[in-house]
């Protein structure tokens, strides 16, 4: 039996060096991750929503007659006693396994100070919403889980608003069991 020298023992105890390609892949991955996270930030975005935050959590029984439409994809229900000016809840139709099956938005107009308009937004042309207190030519449309702010020209075509964009105040809407939907802002 041959005995090992001290150098052999020390070399065996040292960690194996990684393949240079593996090290390079890690650096490239972290570099890509840094660029991707930086790209998610919009420098022009400014939260100009005039709707103050409130804390609430409410459960809605989907078996009640006033909530039956929420079982049907692309249908909505308005709950006037929730939020600032009521909350509109929309079934996106994405299915029970989706986190975005239900969307909930406050009906207070986000570009108007609450004290200057006591009425909820007009939902006559749903999914388009508009300020019911004045005709300021600003409209909101939410589809696929986000709201768009736009104006309209003389021929009723949508025109993107330059500068400040307002977002509808969105709340969490989650199915906590097949018959109960929880609406909250946390």
C-alpha 10: how far from chain center: 56
Domains in the chain, please, with CATH?
57-184 (2.102.10)
pLDDT of residue 41: 46
- pTM beyond 0.85, yes or no: no
- Of 46, 44, 79, 49, the C-alpha closest to 182 is 79
The secondary element (H helix, E strand) that includes residue 29 is: helix 20-39
Read off the pLDDT of residues 33-83 as tens digits, 9 standing for 90 and up. 556 555 554 544 455 688 999 999 999 999 999 999 999 998 999 999 999
User: Is the CB of residue 97 less than 8 Å from the CB of residue 133?
Assistant: no
Encoding tokens for residue 158?
Answer: 């949508």
Per DSSP bridges, beta strands 180-184 and 57-61 are antiparallel
| Neighbour-count burial for 131-166, b at 16+ CB within 10 Å, e otherwise | bbeeeeebbbbbeeeebbbbeeeeeeeeeebeeebb
The percent of residues in the chain predicted with pLDDT above 90, rounded, is 40
CA distance 6 to 25: 35
β partners of residue 184: 57, 172
Read off the pLDDT of residues 138-156 as tens digits, 9 standing for 90 and up. 888 876 445 677 888 889 8
């Amino acid at each position: 039996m041959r005995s090992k020298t001290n150098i052999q023992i020390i070399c065996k105890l040292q960690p194996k060096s990684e393949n240079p390609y593996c090290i390079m892949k890690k650096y490239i991955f972290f570099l890509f991750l840094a660029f991707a996270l930086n790209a998610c930030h919009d420098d022009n975005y400014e939260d100009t929503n005039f709707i103050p935050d409130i804390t609430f959590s409410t459960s809605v029984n989907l078996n009640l007659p006033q909530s039956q439409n929420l079982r049907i994809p692309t249908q909505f229900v308005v709950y006037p006693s929730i939020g600032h000016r009521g909350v509109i809840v929309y079934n996106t139709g994405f299915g029970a396994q989706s986190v975005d099956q239900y969307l909930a938005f406050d009906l207070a107009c986000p570009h108007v100070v609450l004290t200057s308009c006591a009425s909820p937004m007009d939902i006559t042309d749903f999914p388009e919403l508009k300020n019911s207190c004045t005709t300021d030519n600003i409209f909101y449309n939410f589809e696929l889980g986000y709201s768009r702010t736009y104006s309209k020209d003389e021929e009723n075509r949508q025109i993107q608003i330059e500068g400040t964009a307002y977002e509808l105040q969105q709340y969490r809407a989650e199915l906590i069991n097949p018959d109960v939907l929880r609406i909250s802002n946390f």
